Structure 1
Amino acid sequence: MKEPTPIEAIEASRRDVLLLAASATVFAAMPSTAFSAKRVSPMTANQTERNYTMGMLKTKDGTEIFYKDWGTGQPIVFHHGWPLSSDDWDTQMLFFLDKGYRVIAHDRRGHGRSTQTATGNDMDTYADDFAQLAKALDLRDAIHVGHSTGGGEAAHYVARHGKGRVAKLVLIGAVPPILVKTAANPNGTPLDVFDGMRHQLAANRADFYWNFPIPFYGFNREGATLSEPVRANWWRQAMMGGAKAQYDCIKAFSETDFTGDLKAIDVPTLVMHGDDDQIVPVADSALLTVKLLKHGTLKVYEDFPHGMCTTNADVINPDLLAFIRS
C-alpha cells in the first residue's frame, strides 16, 4: 500500500477535525444530563475522579491553550520543544500513564491547537500561561519535564511560579542557560545561525520543516535509518502552529538567559542530554546548566540525538522513571 504523502496526511487530519466538529454539534444538542456523570471540571475535581480529558484554557489575554490531562496519581507535566506540540510526548505520556501517574501536556501558545498568537511569544508569557493552567488544574507536587525550548519554559515556570507546586524538574536536550553567542557567553551559537532559521521559515516554512527533522533525530549520521513516519509526524506538528508565533519563538529560545532561573530552582533536577545533539550542543547547554543548579544531576548519552525521547525512548523512559521514583 502506498504511504500517504505529508500533504495527504494533513488533509486526512482536516477531515478528522471536521468529523469531530460534526460530532460535537450532535452532542451539544443532546440533554446535558446525558454526559454529566463523565464531565469533570478542572477547577473542582479531585484526583481520584479524573479520567482522560482534553480541553482549552482561556488565559487572561484571551489566548486559548490546548491541553491533555490523563489519569490519576502524582502529576507529570511535559513541555514540548519548538515548533512542535504536546503530541511529541505521546510515547512518554502512554508510558507514565501505564505506571500510574497523571500525565499533562499542553500546546504552547502559537503552537499545535492553541491560538496562533501574534504577540506574547516570549518566555515570560509562556511561563505565565502555564501558571494559569497549573492553577486551573490544581497541579501540586508535580514533576515537570521539558525538552529543548520546553526545557527553557519549564525552568522559567519553576523559578517564576513553582514554589509549593513543583516536586522535581527534568531538562532534556534543553536550551538553558543561553544558546546565542554573547560577550558573556562566547562559546554560544552565533546570532546569524538563528537569523538564518528565521529567513528559511519566512521564505518556505513547509520546506524548512521538512528538512529540519534530519539533524534533529540524527538521521544524517552514518548508519542511521531515516524514519519517514517520524519525519512526517514532526512536520505535521510543526505545520499545525502559527508561522508568526514560531518565528518569534526562535528569539525566545535562543536569546533568553535562564541563568537566574537555574540558580533560583531549589528542587531536584535531572539534566539529560545526548552528546551528538546537533540542535542544542551539549557543551553549551547541559554541561553549563548543571553547574548552576543547587540540586542538579547530569546524565549524558553517548551518540544520542536531540530527539532522543523518540529515537531512544526505550532508554530515556526508564531513566526518567528511576529519577521520578528516587
Structure 2
Amino acid sequence: MPFLTNETETQNIDIFFEDYGHGQPVILIHGWPLSHRAWEQQIWAIAEAGFRCIAYDRRGFGNSSAPFRSYDYSSLASDLNAIITQLELKDVVLVGFSMGGGEVVRYCTDYGTDNIAKAALISSIIPLVAKKDDNPNGVPKEDLNGIMKALQDDRVGFLEDFHKNFYNYSEDNETVSKAHLHYDWTIASHASPIATIQAAKAWAETDFRPELKNVDVPTLIVHGDADNIVPKETSGDQAAESISNNTYEVIKNGPHGLNITHKDELNETLLKFLKS
C-alpha cells in the first residue's frame, strides 16, 4: 500500500494515497467525513483523460494516521505539501471537495502557488460555514453545536442520516442506491472518532475570507443549487465574488454529493477545465 510520511516537529503522519496515470498531476482532496474513495467516479475519468491523478486520505480518515490532535487547516495543508514535495510534483492542479476546499485555500496561503497551475472547489465549504453578522446566511451556532453533540453522543447514528442529506435522498427520491448510502456510512463510521469531531470543528469555525486573495491561479468553482449541506449562497456565490480568476458552474438540482449523483456533468466540466 502506498504511503508517504509527513515528518513534523511533534509527530510523523503517514498519508495513504493512490497514484494513477501520467501527465500533469491532479490532486483530489476528499470531503468530510469520507476518504479518497469518494472520488471513485472521478479518478478513472481524470487518469483516462491523460492526467496523473493522485487521491489521498486526510489524516484521521481512510488508511492514514489518526493522531490525537492537530486537525487545524494548516496541519492538514502540511500533509498536502508533503505529497507535493516528496513526489516532486510541478504544475499541479488542486481539486478540493467540500471540506477539501479549505486545504486548497490554506495551501495557497501557507506555501504559495509557485507549483500550482490551477485549482478547483467542488461543493466547497469555502469561504465560511458559520453564521455571523456579516454572513447572515451561514449555519447558526446552535446548529453547529448540535452537530458536535450528535457526533459525541452517537456518531455512527448521526452519520447514517447525514449521508441521506448529502445526496438529498428520500424513500420517494432515491438519488443514489441504498447500497451506496451504506458504503459511505461504512467509510465514515470507520474514520477516527477524534478526527471526525476535530475536523468538523475546523470546517465549522475557520473563516477563509481573508485568504481568498491568495488563490491567484485559474480556479473552477462548481456547486449544486440544491445543496442542503453547504448552500451555494454561503459558499460558491461568495467564493466566485472573491477569487478573481474563476469559472463558476452551477449544477441544476445538484445536491452536496454531486460527484456521485451528477458525475457525468461534473466530470465533463472538470475535464474541460483541466484541458483548457
Larger radius of gyration: 1
Distance change (3 Å), C-alpha of 1:225 and 1:72:
closer
2:3 matched to which residue of 1? Answer: 55
Deviation sequence 1:39-63 (CA, Å, 0-9, x none): xxxxxxxxxxxxxx72232432212
The Cα RMSD (Å) is 1.5
**Kept after mapping to 2: 8 A contact 1:113/1:240:** no
**Kept after mapping to 1: 8 A contact 2:166/2:257:** yes
Q: Secondary structure at the match of 2:2?
A: strand
Written as runs of structure 1 = structure 2, the 5 A alignment for 1:124-273 is: 124-220=74-170, 223-273=173-223
2:57 matches 1:107: yes
Structure 2 CA distance for aligned equivalents of residues 194 and 59 of structure 1 = 33
Deviation sequence 1:63-108 (CA, Å, 0-9, x none): 2111112221100000100011111112111111111110111111
Residue ranges of structure 1 left out of the alignment (5+ in a row): 1-52
2:232 matches 1:282: yes
Between the two proteins, what is the percent identity of the paired residues?
35
Structure 1 CA distance for aligned equivalents of residues 190 and 4 of structure 2 = 16
**Kept after mapping to 1: 8 A contact 2:215/2:243:** yes
1:318 Cα deviation after fit: 0.9
Q: Secondary structure at the match of 1:318?
A: helix
1:304 matched to which residue of 2? Answer: 254
Structure 2 CA distance for aligned equivalents of residues 94 and 300 of structure 1 = 23
1:88 matched to which residue of 2? Answer: 38
2:56 matches 1:117: no
**Kept after mapping to 2: 8 A contact 1:59/1:65:** no
Structure 2 CA distance for aligned equivalents of residues 112 and 74 of structure 1 = 25
**Kept after mapping to 2: 8 A contact 1:59/1:129:** no
1:18 matched to which residue of 2? Answer: none
1:64 matched to which residue of 2? Answer: 14
1:177 Cα deviation after fit: 1.0
Structure 2 CA distance for aligned equivalents of residues 103 and 65 of structure 1 = 16
Give the letter aligned to residue 235 of structure 1: W
**Kept after mapping to 1: 8 A contact 2:98/2:125:** yes
Q: Which moved more, 1:258-267 or 1:164-173?
A: 258-267
Q: Secondary structure at the match of 1:235?
A: helix
1:235 Cα deviation after fit: 0.9
Give the letter aligned to residue 63 of structure 1: I
2:267 matches 1:317: yes
Deviation sequence 1:12-58 (CA, Å, 0-9, x none): xxxxxxxxxxxxxxxxxxxxxxxxxxxxxxxxxxxxxxxxx722324
Distance change (3 Å), C-alpha of 1:70 and 1:215:
same
**Kept after mapping to 1: 8 A contact 2:15/2:56:** yes
Q: Secondary structure at the match of 1:206?
A: helix
Structure 1 CA distance for aligned equivalents of residues 111 and 82 of structure 2 = 10
Structure 2 CA distance for aligned equivalents of residues 144 and 223 of structure 1 = 33
**What is the TM-score when the length of structure 1 is the normalising length?**
0.81
Distance change (3 Å), C-alpha of 1:221 and 1:256:
farther
Distance change (3 Å), C-alpha of 1:222 and 1:158:
farther
Q: Secondary structure at the match of 1:183?
A: coil
Give the letter aligned to residue 90 of structure 2: R
**What is the TM-score when the length of structure 2 is the normalising length?**
0.95
**Kept after mapping to 2: 8 A contact 1:194/1:250:** no
Q: Which moved more, 1:311-320 or 1:215-224?
A: 215-224
Q: Secondary structure at the match of 2:228?
A: coil
**Kept after mapping to 1: 8 A contact 2:113/2:216:** no
Structure 1 CA distance for aligned equivalents of residues 181 and 139 of structure 2 = 25
